[in-house]
Chain A
Amino acid sequence: MTTPTPEPVRSTLKDNASPVAQHVACPFCGILCDDLEVSKSAKGLKVTRNGCDKAIAGFERHLPAATPLNGGKPASLAEAVTAAANLIKQARLPLYGGLATDVEGMRSVMALADVSGGVIDHALSEGPYRNFKVLQSTGWVMTTLTEVRNRADLIIIVGTDVHALHPRFFERMVCNQDSMFDSPPLKRTIVFVGSGLDQSAAVGARVGEVVTLPCPLDQAGEVIAALRARLKGAPLGAATIAGVLMAAIDDLARRCRKATYGVMVWAPPGLNFPNADLTVQTICDTVRELNATQRFAGLSLGGNEGAVTAGAVSSWQCGYPLRVSFASGQPHYDANRYAMSRMLADGEGDLLVWTASYTTGLGVPRTSLPTVVLGTPGLEMAQAASVFIPIGTPGVDHAGRLIRCDTVVTLPLTDLGRSVLPSASHVLDAIQSALQI
């Protein structure tokens, strides 16, 4: 009998205790696979196990040399922090955008926005807001990745290219070898609602039928609405809905009724068309009604660039999922007014503070405002930053925590020692301290 130490056995490459880190969580998409192996050599990091294209691109990227810049000129970190603090002090309405960071970084953003009377919003919050509007209006019945992996016998993918957004979703959640509840593991039926969705990963021993209901992606919601009507037994006069034969919709209704545990999957960033929240609403209404007599659940993916984490930390610290202004001294929530893309387009705010620590693509948008940019080296910028401070990537350059797309699981991120760049949290806290001098 032992009383083991509570410390986890997670290895870190930071102290070179081992050349290979195991059980590494990947922060480069919202499903946060945590079974990667990453090795470190003089050439940099290499994903040696379970890496997808996004993981390899993220972990193995060689950082360009980067130094803090103040007005385009090299500066020390302390100088850049002071310059950033001065800009924030002068600003009447600083906008805290990007927010691609980890839990600690988001905590620091919240504290700084609170004390400086700013507005917070994530660069990709248009996606999560397709969900939040439904959550706030009616709620939903949802499930999480491990439940899908073990239970789902009918997986309906609605209007989104899951494989493109999450390259290992099918491998890990659909095509996994073992199932907890069936021996031999049952074969699943996969239904794609929408044309042109990548079906290449829906193959293997676990996949039974693959059914396609081809329709324009922005009409996938109409197909689900028709499905909902048919599940209720409502007659529909049309022969086709969004180009899908009514017979195919009726067939899907029968499959839904026969399912032991059906799941409707969508990735909010993929529903990239106006009023896509109505598609999410239709999915959730259909799922809820199915639960009157059987089990069915929704699964929302997405959550890349720390979007789920930003929404969650904002919600627990100030009650609302982003799009909050602290200008009055109190949290003021307005999902339209404080959508940062709209504010920037309409010339609101007088300073943009942009945090982007994962990919170079989450660049600073075009703006005439002065900008303080905390970015991973190589970050794309539409214009030169007033102050630029290079920061590390959580789970690569420093440790951290990130919340998964299903909003339940938080993964610890390993310090792999790629660089000695500071964390967003470290820099933001320093800026806040400098504000108070």
Chain B
Amino acid sequence: MLIKLTGGKVYDPANGVDGVVRDIYVEDGRIVEARADARVHEEYNLKGRVVMAGGIDPHSHIGGGKVTIARMLMPEDHQGQEYGRNGQLRSGVGRAIPSTMTTGYRYAEMGYTACFEPAMLPTNARQAHMEMGDTPLLDKGAFVMLGSDDFLLRQMTQKQDFSAIKDYIAWTMHAAQAIAVKVVNPGGISAFKFNQRKLDLDEQNAHYGLTPRQILLTLARGLKEIGVTHPLHVHGCNLGVPGNLSTTLETIKAMEGLPVHMTHIQFHSYGTEGDKHFSSGAAAVADAINANTNVSIDVGQVLFGQTCTASGDSMRQYGNTSGAYPKKSVIMDIECDAGCGVVPMKYKEKNFVNALQWCIGLELFLLVRDPWRLFLTTDHPNGAPFTSYPHLIRLLMDKGFRNDMMQKIDASARAYSTLGSIDREYSLYEIAIMTRAGPAKSLGLKDRGHLGVGACADITVYADMADKEAMFTAPELVFKNGDLIVRNGKILRLVQGATHVTRPEYDKGIEKSLRDYFQRYHTMQMENIRVSDTEIIGHDKGSIIVQPSGARV
């Protein structure tokens, strides 16, 4: 069946198309060449509409143990936010930490067609995939967490051959069905189990004697050498600590030019200037990002309201428990593998720190020049729920609106921020880069995030409205694999997205030491930690797309 999308204004940065009126043809779920003689079965007149690829969220906590702990911890997030079943659509709940089906529905209604869970623990990978399997309408993928797991730390202290470390990284990606690797507070989650309360870039883990710098370099180099497209996804040291700006700048230098993605960098861009010893480090961080083309970032924008933070960073989340609102939290040490911390937060406009966090995020967005290396995130749900993206897009595209919003925040925070003096407004083209083309390129999704011939027909059509928040809240049409799934912000039909993984090569010999390690120390056998294809395809009714990795060096 041939579908024609006629006369829309197309924003397709991957192919250099900036608001050009053109027709798009879709057949069998793919974008195809225009064919003058072909019979069109369905035509959509998109005159005056804006057409982009489906949105891709490269960092959103949508599945896995900590998210479900947050759901259990926070019934008050759900009450008053119930959604009834509606035809095929399942009932659900939630604003900051929605139930799984509701998560899929809300993303699709906003025109997103892919979403990546950034913190999947190897020992919790099965649950992460099961939850993503219950998240319909979206393509999914997950970044597996390494860097505080005792197997890697033991390999490093034993000074094992680097190829064994690469084998372990690759094996873990296979076992956990991951597309990328994330490190969270490198070595710090382990250090917290030894009662260390902070771990700076060159501070040693008390047991292993390793520093975050060594762990970062090992993983970044390892990933590069096994050919994984997405660079090491780094949640750095000292998240949320005033003064962590210097750690962030040092971390960028420490990478020695290796490709790296610094995630939710807003939470890592704090200075200590002023009466309250809390200030914006956005300008210095943005300068460093602009100068170091090996670095990409996502922001982790804070927006005001109640949320619930969920992170693998048990060390820093423990530090944040004193600010929990409501006053409760979960901190866990997990399986000699990782940890987690779930801490509810309410970001308030009139709170100096929260208001300045809001400014710092926006300053970063506006001061970093290259949108190809900057992705739009709130680190859902940590800075704000993903449903606030349209509001965030308006803040970036509409200086007048931004300045109006700025008048509502704490006055001293406003005085501490340069935000009011920044005139930049994002264009639709730049928004399309940050929410589609950039994440797809960074993650190695060759046929996603663009509208060229051969691309998967994940397409979002917006009314071209002056109010960008309204425009991005409820797209007129959303296609997933060529199927029309959303019309005027309402879901028409349910489809199950694919799970994207990468499978770099490794030497199967690594399993000998892994088998022994799991038998000796763990409570799960090596054979059972692996998540099989059958589970994702059979039990979760999904599918798997293996994105290519480069040759191993």
Contact = CB atoms under 8 A, between A and B. Distances in A.
B398 interface: no
A191 to B, nearest CB: 20
B78 interface: yes
Interface of A: 1-4, 6-10, 22-23, 25, 31, 33-35, 103-104, 107, 111, 114-115, 132, 135-147, 149-151, 172-173, 177-181, 260-261, 291, 294-295, 297, 311-312, 315-321, 326, 328-333, 401, 403, 407-412
B127 A312 contact: yes
Interface stretch (B213-221, B436-444, B465-473, B523-531): B523-531
Contacts of B332: 141-144, 297, 408
Contacts of B79: 333
A316 B131 CA distance: 7
B193 A261 contact: yes
B90 interface: yes
Chain B interface bracket (under 10, 10 to 19, 20 to 34, 35 or more)? 35 or more
Contacts of B519: 35
Interface of B: 63, 65, 67-69, 71-73, 75, 77-79, 82-85, 90-94, 97-101, 121, 123-124, 126-127, 130-131, 134, 150, 154, 174, 177, 192-195, 207, 318, 324, 327-337, 342, 503, 505-508, 519-525, 527-528, 530, 532-535, 539, 552
Contacts of A408: 65, 121, 123-124, 127, 332, 334-335
Contacts of A7: 532-534
Given A4-B508, A139-B330, A411-B524, A321 B539 contact: no
Contacts of A2: 505-508
Contacts of B177: 6
Shortest Cβ-Cβ A-B pairs, 5 listed: A319-B93, A330-B82, A139-B328, A329-B84, A410-B126
Contact of A9 (B71, B330, B527): B527
> Which secondary structure dominates where chain B touches chain A?
mixed
26 contacts: A2-B505, A2-B506, A4-B174, A6-B532, A9-B527, A132-B72, A135-B330, A139-B328, A143-B334, A146-B524, A173-B523, A294-B195, A295-B192, A295-B194, A295-B195, A295-B333, A315-B68, A319-B97, A331-B93, A401-B535, A407-B65, A408-B65, A409-B524, A412-B126, A412-B528, A412-B535
Given A144-B335, A146-B523, A180-B150, A139 B329 contact: yes
Contacts of A111: 90
A139 B342 contact: yes
A132 B69 CA distance: 10
A287 to B, nearest CB: 10
Contacts of A295: 192-195, 333
A6 B533 contact: yes
Contacts of A261: 193
Given A2-B508, A7-B532, A140-B330, A150 B521 contact: yes
B334 A1 contact: no
Contact of B521 (A142, A178, A318): A178
Contact of A8 (B72, B523, B532): B532
